[in-house]
């Protein structure tokens, strides 16, 4: 089992902002602006790191001399020596790249924030079920049973007696299914009794005749 990667606080914060904006119904245009700003910030951070590295290289060049300095100068990336501004096309491409980068960052942050929230909510619910809910129930049930429920019953029972029960009884009395059930049960009881009487008398007939034949002998005419 692999240990899940620790989420970045920055991405979590961005993801939380995205989730909040979704809940608040923020316009798509605003979200695109946020993505662009995020991408630009990421680019700026990357550029700052590269500038620091370049500065370190320049300091090294100054302290070196001759062929060694020429050798180190060739190692400096050409891209770092390009001019910063080369026209509108460069700016447009840079903005598009920044927006894509920002969108990717926001999506990743949103996913991390969602997973973080879900995990924490599940943990919180489980903790509450194990620690909080039993205590609340244990403390609440006696109060409900001793004080609340009797008052509710006392207040509701007269209404049930005067208004609900007559309606229920009336419905049951007029329901043809209930009447059929009662009639069917009555028939069943009577049928069972009659069947027992018939079986019993038939057996008694045979026994009486057998006894008479044993006493007086002879057969049937």
Partner 1 sequence: MTPAAPAAHRDYAGLVTRLVGLGVDVGLLTVAGLAVGGLPGLAWQQVLGEPPGWLTGAAGIVATLLPWLYFTAAWMLTGRTAGAMLVGVRTVRTDGRALSVWRSAARALVGLVFAPVWLVGLVGTLTDARRRAWHDRLFGTVVRRG
Binding of residue 217 to partner 1 (CB under 8 A): no
Q: Please, which residue, 124 or 200, has the CB nearer to partner 1? A: 200
Task: State how far the Cα of 98 lies from the Cα of 36, in Å rounded to an integer.
Answer: 6
Q: Footprint of partner 1 on residues 186-205 (CB under 8 A)?
A: 194, 197-198, 201-202, 204-205
Q: Which of 130, 173, 206, 217 binds partner 1 (CB under 8 A)?
A: 206
Q: Which residues contact 57 (CB under 8 A, 6 or more apart)?
A: 72, 75, 76
Q: Please, which residue, 149 or 204, has the CB nearer to partner 1? A: 204
Neighbour count for residue 90 (Cβ, 10 Å): 13
Task: State how far the Cα of 189 lies from the Cα of 199, in Å rounded to an integer.
Answer: 16
Task: Report in angstroms how near the CB of residue 154 gets to partner 1 at its nearest.
Answer: 48
Q: Which of 166, 212, 214, 217 binds partner 1 (CB under 8 A)?
A: 212
Measured in degrees and rounded to the nearest 5, phi and psi for residue 64 equal -95, 175
Q: Please, which residue, 59 or 194, has the CB nearer to partner 1? A: 194
Q: Please, which residue, 163 or 220, has the CB nearer to partner 1? A: 220
Task: Report in angstroms how near the CB of residue 198 gets to partner 1 at its nearest.
Answer: 4
Binding-site size for partner 1 (CB under 8 A) equals 14
Task: Report in angstroms how near the CB of residue 188 gets to partner 1 at its nearest.
Answer: 16
Task: State how far the Cα of 127 lies from the Cα of 39, in Å rounded to an integer.
Answer: 39
Q: Please, which residue, 37 or 183, has the CB nearer to partner 1? A: 183
Tokens describing residue 83:
């001019």
Binding of residue 218 to partner 1 (CB under 8 A): yes
Q: Please, which residue, 155 or 219, has the CB nearer to partner 1? A: 219
Q: Which residues contact 80 (CB under 8 A, 6 or more apart)?
A: 50, 54
The angle at the Cα of 82, spanning 77 to 84, to the nearest 5 degrees, equals: 130
Q: Which residues contact 8 (CB under 8 A, 6 or more apart)?
A: 109, 112
Residues of this chain that bind partner 1 (CB under 8 A): 194, 197-198, 201-202, 204-206, 208-209, 212, 218, 220-221
């Amino acid at each position: 089992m692999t240990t899940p990667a620790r989420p970045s606080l920055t991405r979590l914060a961005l993801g939380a902002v995205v989730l909040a904006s979704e809940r608040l119904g923020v316009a798509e245009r605003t979200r695109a602006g946020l993505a662009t700003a995020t991408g630009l910030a990421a680019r700026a951070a990357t550029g700052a790191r590269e500038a620091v590295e370049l500065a370190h290289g320049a300091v090294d060049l100054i302290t070196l001399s001759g062929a060694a300095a020429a050798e180190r100068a060739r190692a400096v990336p050409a891209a770092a020596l390009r001019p910063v501004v080369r026209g509108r096309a460069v700016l447009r491409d840079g903005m598009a790249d920044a927006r894509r980068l920002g969108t990717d960052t926001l999506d990743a942050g949103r996913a991390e924030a969602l997973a973080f929230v879900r995990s924490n909510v599940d943990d919180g619910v489980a903790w509450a079920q194990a620690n909080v809910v039993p205590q609340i129930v244990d403390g609440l049930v006696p109060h409900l049973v001793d004080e609340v429920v009797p008052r509710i019953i006392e207040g509701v029972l007269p209404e049930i007696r005067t208004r609900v029960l007559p309606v229920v009884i009336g419905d049951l009395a007029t329901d043809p299914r209930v009447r059929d059930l009662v009639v069917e049960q009555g028939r069943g009881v009577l049928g069972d009794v009659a069947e027992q009487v018939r079986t019993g008398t038939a057996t008694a007939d045979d026994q009486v005749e057998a006894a008479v034949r044993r006493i007086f002998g002879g057969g049937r005419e």
